[in-house]
Amino acid sequence: MVGPLYHMGWYHLFYQYNPDSAIWGNITWGHAVSRDLIHWLYLPLAMVPDRWFDWNGVWTGSATLLPGGKIAMLYTGDTDNYVQVQNLAYPANLSDPLLLHWDKYEQNPVMIPPKGIAFKDFRDPTTAWLGQDGLWRVMIGSKINKTGIALVYKTSNFTTYELVDHVLHAVPTTGMWECVDFYPVSTTSDNGLDTSANGPGTKHVMKTSLDDDKHDYYALGTYDAVKDIWTPDDPKLDVGIGLRVDYGKYYASKTFYDQDKVRRILWGWVGETDTAADNLRKGWASVQTIPRVVTFDKKTRTNILQWPVEELESLRSSSEQFDGIFLEPGSVMQLNISSAAQLDISAEFEVDMKTLNATLDEINNCSVAADRGAAGPFGLLVLADESLSELTPVYFYIGKAADGALKHWFCTDKSRSTKATDVDKQVYGGLVPVLDDEKFSMRVLIDHSVIEAFGQGGRTCITSRIYPTEAIDGAARVFLFNNATHLNVTASVKIWHMGSADLRPFPLDQM
């Protein structure tokens, strides 16, 4: 996803797209618009690779909203000689709410790889932010040997740039940084902040997509706007070695500031986990996540929170409530929900630690839900068929680290999600903070072949792409389960049936 923005009542989503095939190549910018972030109208292609400076692809870019309503779109072009350069484009007609036509700056490229940077390691400009000196700054991802780095350029006009003589940040061993993002979050309010905001009550999120392992990482820190240096709050949780934006099939995420509703919105790309042949057979590949609002976690003060935009609730229809369901160790209970392929589930779990008579297991990652431990796993079985021949558990696991500290894991297990072969069946997950006064809570969005799970209000998120063969449409079911050996769990669940988003071409012929 590239260049998201809000303009004249419309949300704009641009995305990397191959109009000729369902596999990588001939990368152009697709374009869609929405009034509410849920129902989308497809527009003609926004930009195609038709100039020497983007001949081999119009790659990732970001929009910056300038004073006076102008829009600057910076993007990476892969040149006719396979050199990654940064280019400028702008709307041909700012008074057009749909921004149908884009002009490329005739003097592109506006940035080329600097000395010491490989021609193929210079990409993905961020939204620009305005510094105290009145100059705009743009961050670009790169690497030197195996050290991932964030380069910063200054500009007054978006056509000429000066490279800052030091990196904004660097982390050894993390490799190439791509699809980078840099934005402020308020530590005192749930409102989003314009990308140029800084000062008291502000933290800065630095995010990168690691080309080496294809995961998105972030860290919270402090940005010194005078020295152009970003410092992580916790060096042990630095970018690329600590927190992940999402622990599932999720990559190349990007945020933008929604000035209409004063919030910061995040999108991520959900790639396929079957084969290229499967993609060619069905004629398409990959989807976007439900847009998420990003805020600072004022309770832990160590992470961000991600939560589906409120507009998603417009798709809710009938609901069912299940309260106080007691789950003894080893139990599975089906919930009376028919056609459970498209749901919004909110669940809370109270655990009785007094029943935990055995020593907690030492665990270092999520394991398959069939592996029983003293205090886990427990949670939901979603996209399951009646006989449980297919199922995808979303669950918590209480354990301890090597030093004996209590740890809580939030996981999704795809190992039995489908009977199909040649499909990825990993177990996803990560640590999730659960405070002393909190119940274990999750929200799970189910949309046929995509599951988005949010643990503890969005502290830890997991997106899964699965391919059920039995648990489809009306045959899909939902179960509660407790596979712990020494832990009683009481669950309360509310489930909404969800309608479908309206996705169709924009009726340009009716304008």
In the chain, what percentage of residues exceed pLDDT 90?
A: 94
Residues 140-159, mean pLDDT to the nearest whole number:
98
Are 47 and 89 spatial neighbours (Cβ–Cβ below 8 Å)?
yes
For residue 379, give the nearest of 460, 494, 479, 247 by alpha carbon.
479
Strands 503-505 and 40-47: parallel
435-471: pLDDT as tens digits: 999 999 999 999 999 999 999 999 999 999 999 999 9
Residues 52-60, mean pLDDT to the nearest whole number:
98
- pLDDT of 511 over the 70 cut: no
Residue 167 to residue 151: CA distance in whole angstroms:
5
230-254: pLDDT as tens digits: 999 999 999 999 999 999 999 999 9
pLDDT at residue 355 in the model: 65
- pLDDT of 171 over the 60 cut: yes
Return the residue matching tokens 């195609």.
Answer: 48
Residues 166-182, mean pLDDT to the nearest whole number:
98
Return the residue matching tokens 């976007």.
Answer: 288
For residue 239, give the nearest of 175, 289, 145 by alpha carbon.
175
- pLDDT of 358 over the 70 cut: no
Residues 206-222, mean pLDDT to the nearest whole number:
98
Whether pTM exceeds 0.95: yes
374-410: pLDDT as tens digits: 999 999 999 999 999 999 999 999 998 888 888 999 9
Q: State whether residue 353 is helix, strand or coil.
A: helix
Residue 45: exposed, middle, or buried by beta-carbon count in 10 A (0-12, 13-18, 19+)?
A: middle
pLDDT at residue 357 in the model: 55
Give residue 509's pLDDT band: very low, low, confident or very high (50, 70, 90).
confident
For residue 228, give the nearest of 138, 301, 142 by alpha carbon.
138
Strands in 503-505's sheet, in edge-to-edge order, are 2-7, 10-17, 28-34, 40-47, 503-505
Q: Distance between terminal CA atoms of the chain?
A: 27
Residues 98-111, mean pLDDT to the nearest whole number:
98
Residue 82 to residue 23: CA distance in whole angstroms:
19
pLDDT at residue 256 in the model: 98
pLDDT at residue 353 in the model: 76
